[in-house]
A and B are shown apart, each in its own frame.
Chain A
Amino acid sequence: TQLLEQSPQFLSIQEGENLTVYCNSSSVFSSLQWYRQEPGEGPVLLVTVVTGGEVKKLKRLTFQFGDARKDSSLHITAAQPGDTGLYLCAGGRGSQGNLIFGKGTKLSVKP
Chain B
Amino acid sequence: KAGVTQTPRYLIKTRGQQVTLSCSPISGHRSVSWYQQTPGQGLQFLFEYFSETQRNKGNFPGRFSGRQFSNSRSEMNVSTLELGDSALYLCASSPRGGALSSGANVLTFGAGSRLTVL
Contact = CB atoms under 8 A, between A and B. Distances in A.
Interface of A: 2, 29-31, 33, 35, 40-45, 48-50, 88, 90, 92-104
Contacts of B12: none
B106 A48 contact: yes
- Tell me the interface secondary structure of chain A in the complex: loop
Contacts of A97: 31, 33, 48, 50, 55-56, 97-100
Interface residues of B, number: 30
Given A29-B101, A42-B111, A97-B50, 4 more contacts: A49-B103, A96-B100, A97-B100, A99-B45
A92 B103 contact: yes
Contacts of B90: 42-43
B42 interface: yes
A107 B81 CA distance: 32
A29 B99 CA distance: 12
B96 to A, nearest CB: 10
A95 B99 contact: yes
A93 B100 CA distance: 8
A93 B111 CA distance: 25
B110 interface: yes
Contacts of A2: 42
Nearest to A48: B103
Given A96-B56, A98-B56, A42 B110 contact: yes
Interface in B11-61: 31, 33, 35, 41-45, 48, 50, 55-56, 58
Contacts of A50: 102-103
B42 A99 contact: no
Nearest to A88: B43
B55 A31 contact: no
A104 B97 contact: no
Given A49-B103, A92-B102, A101 B43 contact: yes
